[in-house]
Copies of this chain bind each other. A is one copy, B any other.
Amino acid sequence: MPDTIVLSPTPVRDLSPFFSPRSIAVVGASRKEGSVGHALVRNLIYGGYTGVIYPINPKAKGIQGIPCFPDLSAIGDPPDLVVVVVPAPFVERVVLQAADMGTRNVLVISAGFKEIGGEGLERENRLRSIARDNGVSILGPNCLGLINTDPTISMNATFGRDIPPHGTLGLISQSGALCAALLDYAKGRGIGFSQFVSFGNKCDVDEVDLLRSIAADPNTRAIMMYVEDVGSGPRFLEAAHEITHGPNPKPILVIKSGRTAEGAAAAASHTGSLAGSDQLYDALMTQAGAFRVETVAQLFDLAEIFTDPLLPAGKKTAIITNAGGPGIMATDACIRHGLELAKFRDYTVKSLQFQMPTVGSIKNPVDVIGDARHDRYRAALDAVTADDQVDQVLVIVTPQTMTDVTEIAHVIGETKEFCNKPMAACLMGLVDVSVGVDLLQKKYAVPTFAFPENAMRSMAAKTRFGQWVRSTVRGYHAFDVDKQGVVDLFDRELAAGRHNLIELKALEALQHYGFPTVRYQLATTADEAVAAAAELGYPVVMKISGPKILHKTDVGGVKLDLRDEAAVRTAYTTMLDSVRRGMGEDVEIWGVIIQQMLAPGKEVILGVTRDERFGPMLMCGLGGIYAETFRDVSFRLAPIRENVAREMIQSLRSVKLLEGVRGEPPSDIDAVAECLLRVSQFVTEHPRIAEMDINPLLVYPRGKGAMVADARIILRHESAGQEQAHA
């Protein structure tokens, strides 16, 4: 038995011809100003593209001074990239022609596909088939195009209005219009891009292919994504985890729009009903180490902080300010976002005491007060950045009468160049301070913000990214289990037409996987019941068992806390009578389960739901009202790495109850984590499981373990052979 699960890696597509083609043909190039075919050629030319452009247009001699070709075949050699802007009905023909010539990369700008439904959808399906059958990669259709600002390529293959400046930000967007707006906003904020791609309907190349490709670009330091849906959760997770936690980690900043709870209503299990698709996306991003943000403004704040790749060593943050109010606001934000105010060493305090005016504050935040000029900022920065108790520094400058903003910006920039600690600047205001902002951003690459809260929130995100990057990646633990036992059990149940495994059968499956389960025996006579109770030890619980008896309590099929032989014997008879009265004389009864009466413990729910895009999703939460009423549950894609089980539990608000409140001893959280890992292995090795609940898992004080008191497994209705193929 191996002790770790090995996942088969997904093949990575080489998309470099899209981003760095030596030659580009534009099919549908046009002389008509305002047309997409014209804008594309213009952008390639004025963008300074370093390769060769072939405009294809049978009716024109030349476009913007470049000779035209009547047809793709007229070029001779196949171009590295074919860009298609002809009307939708003609796209397929062009792609086939490109494939015939030997071109392997086609960018389809044209709209009129899936997004219009009906014949457009059929057209898109045909396009996808053409891609697969001919070994062609298609980006699009219905997209804005792509840009690579690397000076050796300098390619703008979009029909947008503008060419973004060269920078370190990669952008991947499902919406072309949003892309255009983001470019415009970035221009206003002075943010430059490395590569930039709008992927439209993603009939072939998708967001994960592009993510990998952009992450491999050496010019790109951070990746911005706008997505409306992720095609495959596991593929995204694998790629994003490699990017954020690989040898050259890069942050991924995501806006995922469309926050709905589709599909939750249709779920059969408790776990399924708690899984809104939006929560699954949250879980996916957390697990991948990506930052999910709510607003475009936040997206740009994060992009700004990551323009400087240096990560802080820890949470200890110093603030230098020339005004009290913004210093307080920064302090509030520091604490609120989980950072800590650095406590200065004595030597720092002495140095500040010596150099700062007496009315300023030499504690953190350091208040250099309103009349500070650049020399006083420099003294404070020198002292604070030299302190080994400081991991990062925020410098706040408010424009007051004496404030020499430009000189102060130089001081901040110069300090950043020699101190090896991340710094951020907050130059409050937009107009008076704009020269300083420009200097800091362009000359010194110091992330600069208009407000202390935005600066601090972004610094906190970068700090979390630092922790994530430094954290040890654990593998997927494989417990020694009886996998075949479960395969056989599922085969038998499915053969008998049973998809819904409850109690006895569910517990049996879990026992094969080493879960601690409540002890029980099935009795079919009163004598057997008494013997079983004697073996398990009093008190016991009795429950009726039969394939159709779902609501046991309603028909008198449950008796708790039976304390002696007489009670068990009486209960056996009355229970059978009562169930037959309730459900009819011919109800199928397998017998009566005699089960040890468990000591009360904290109730935890573990579960699995299976989502079309995400595959199996693990859930945990506290029982009773916490999961159900307050929806305080956490999700992760299965399989989970060893460290993730504890993270799932810790991310619950109600974890406080497991940690022990009001004088209670802490619960055995390790035992819960182990059960989660076992569920992860169980569901990964048995794709026939559609959904399952362990409810409740009773958790005892630390060191006393946990116990599965009841469980339910729902198998898929697909062919039973599937499991063999997957396993």
| Interface pair B177/A257, CB less than 8 Å apart | no
| Interface pair A178/B326, CB less than 8 Å apart | yes
With A159-B401, A332-B259 known as contacts, the answer to whether A175 contacts B297 (CB < 8 A) is no
Residue A323 CB within 8 A of the other chain: yes
| Interface pair B398/A181, CB less than 8 Å apart | yes
- Return A185 CB to nearest CB of chain B, in Å: 5
Residue A276 CB within 8 A of the other chain: no
Residue A417 CB within 8 A of the other chain: no
Could you say which residues of chain B place their CB within 8 Å of the CB of A336? 259
Could you say which residues of chain B place their CB within 8 Å of the CB of A325? 173-175, 177-178, 226, 228, 257
Which B residue's beta carbon lies closest to that of A359? B116
- When chains A and B are docked, how far (Å) is the Cα of A401 from the Cα of B34? 7
Which B residue's beta carbon lies closest to that of A258? B328
Residue A442 CB within 8 A of the other chain: no
| Interface pair A430/B184, CB less than 8 Å apart | yes
- When chains A and B are docked, how far (Å) is the Cα of A174 from the Cα of B428? 16
| Interface pair B296/A328, CB less than 8 Å apart | no
- When chains A and B are docked, how far (Å) is the Cα of A632 from the Cα of B329? 25
Residues 178-218 of chain A: 1 if any B CB is under 8 Å from the residue's CB, otherwise 0? 10111111011100000000000000000000000000000
| Interface pair B428/A184, CB less than 8 Å apart | yes
| Interface pair A257/B34, CB less than 8 Å apart | no
| Interface pair B177/A326, CB less than 8 Å apart | yes
Could you say which residues of chain B place their CB within 8 Å of the CB of A187? 429-431
Residue A548 CB within 8 A of the other chain: no
| Interface pair B625/A399, CB less than 8 Å apart | no
Could you say which residues of chain B place their CB within 8 Å of the CB of A324? 115, 175, 177
Question: Which listed segment binds B: A7-15, A447-455, A503-511, A703-711?
Answer: A447-455
- When chains A and B are docked, how far (Å) is the Cα of A329 from the Cα of B294? 9
| Interface pair A175/B259, CB less than 8 Å apart | no
Could you say which residues of chain B place their CB within 8 Å of the CB of A283? none
Could you say which residues of chain B place their CB within 8 Å of the CB of A259? 332, 335-336
> Which listed residue (B184, B370, B428) contacts A185, Cβ 8 A?
B428
Residue A295 CB within 8 A of the other chain: yes
Residue A630 CB within 8 A of the other chain: yes
Copies in the complex: 2
With A189-B430, A359-B116 known as contacts, the answer to whether A180 contacts B398 (CB < 8 A) is yes
Interface residues of A in 294-308 (CB under 8 A from B): 294-297
Residue A483 CB within 8 A of the other chain: no
| Interface pair A184/B453, CB less than 8 Å apart | no
Interface size on A, residues (CB 8 A): 71
With A323-B177, A325-B178, A328-B258 known as contacts, the answer to whether A36 contacts B401 (CB < 8 A) is yes
With A326-B177, A332-B259, A398-B177 known as contacts, the answer to whether A629 contacts B661 (CB < 8 A) is yes
Q: Which of A34, A336, A453 has the most CB atoms of chain B within a 10 A radius of its CB? A: A453
- Return A147 CB to nearest CB of chain B, in Å: 16
Q: Which of A228, A322, A332, A625 has the most CB atoms of chain B within a 10 A radius of its CB? A: A332
Residue A402 CB within 8 A of the other chain: yes
Could you say which residues of chain B place their CB within 8 Å of the CB of A92? none
Residues 106-120 of chain A: 1 if any B CB is under 8 Å from the residue's CB, otherwise 0? 000000000110000
Could you say which residues of chain B place their CB within 8 Å of the CB of A431? 162, 184, 187-188
- When chains A and B are docked, how far (Å) is the Cα of A226 from the Cα of B451? 14
| Interface pair B329/A255, CB less than 8 Å apart | yes
Residue A161 CB within 8 A of the other chain: yes
- Return A284 CB to nearest CB of chain B, in Å: 17
- When chains A and B are docked, how far (Å) is the Cα of A176 from the Cα of B255? 37
- When chains A and B are docked, how far (Å) is the Cα of A34 from the Cα of B404? 12
Residue A528 CB within 8 A of the other chain: no
- Return A255 CB to nearest CB of chain B, in Å: 7
- When chains A and B are docked, how far (Å) is the Cα of A184 from the Cα of B296? 23
Residue A432 CB within 8 A of the other chain: yes
- When chains A and B are docked, how far (Å) is the Cα of A63 from the Cα of B503? 93
Residue A39 CB within 8 A of the other chain: yes
- When chains A and B are docked, how far (Å) is the Cα of A433 from the Cα of B181? 9
With A399-B180, A399-B184, A628-B661 known as contacts, the answer to whether A432 contacts B161 (CB < 8 A) is yes
Could you say which residues of chain B place their CB within 8 Å of the CB of A433? 184
Known: A161-B401, A188-B429. 9 other contacts (CB 8 A): A174-B325, A177-B322, A177-B324, A178-B428, A181-B398, A184-B431, A185-B429, A187-B431, A297-B297
Q: What are 14 A-B pairs at a CB distance below 8 A?
A: A34-B402, A175-B326, A177-B322, A178-B325, A180-B398, A181-B323, A181-B326, A184-B399, A187-B430, A187-B431, A257-B325, A259-B336, A295-B453, A628-B662
> Residues of A with Cβ closer than 8 Å to B?
34, 36, 39, 115-116, 159-162, 173-178, 180-185, 187-189, 226, 228, 255, 257-259, 294-297, 322-326, 328-329, 332, 335-336, 358-359, 370, 398-402, 428-433, 450-451, 453-454, 625, 628-630, 653, 656-657, 661-662
